[in-house]
Amino acid sequence: AKDEDKQIEELIKNGNTEYTKEMAKGKRYFVDLLCSKVIVRVQAEGFNGQRGDGFPLAHMLAMVAAEHKDIIPVLAAHIYTVCPTAIPRLPKIAKDSSEDDLMESLGMIKNKDGDYETFERFLGRTEGLISMVADIMSSEPSDHNLFGGNGGAVKWLSRFLSELPNSSPLPLITAPVLEYVASPPVDSIPLLI
């Protein structure tokens, strides 16, 4: 943001009246608003279900990110805030941790009453977020860099697998995450070929 402000100040000093500081703030606000609305949609129940709305949205985000790189860290921050597994990072839980510690480390969200969401709701939300990250990484254009772009998918999967313990049982989230990453929606298949 500071670099962008400096660039705009330089443009103004050089007589370019096309840009103002307010425009820079407005752009940052718009990018944050767009990313936060995407996250709300991706976490909604039924997202990426039979309508298959995940991949078209992911494809559009990848196209926008290819032209407007400032969306990349903002969208990543929004996703990582609500889904630490998307980094990927598995929770490290001490043996004496409470149930609340476990739920918080997984990224479970508390409702208005202060109770944690159900595990089923958590898995549904995680499915939407992980599948969105996977969909984005496998989207066109092939030179986009959102979540590492096309090459980021292999790195992400490798990192996730290296996070898994060498002993049983595996963390509860392992199978659902691998399923979301390994099974793209049917309408995305032509783009992946």
pLDDT digits (tens, 9 = 90+) for 20-66: 667 767 888 899 999 999 999 999 887 766 566 888 899 999 999 99
- Does 188 have pLDDT greater than 50? no
Measure the CA–CA gap between 12 and 24, rounded to whole angstroms.
12
Does pLDDT of 140 surpass 70? yes
- Give the confidence band of 85 by pLDDT, cuts at 50, 70, 90: confident
Ramachandran area for residue 15 (φ above 0: left; ψ -120 to 50: alpha; else beta):
left
The residue among 72, 78, 180, 51 whose CA lies nearest residue 128 is 180
For range 126-139, the mean pLDDT: 89
pLDDT at site 5? 66
**DSSP 8-state code for residue 1:** -
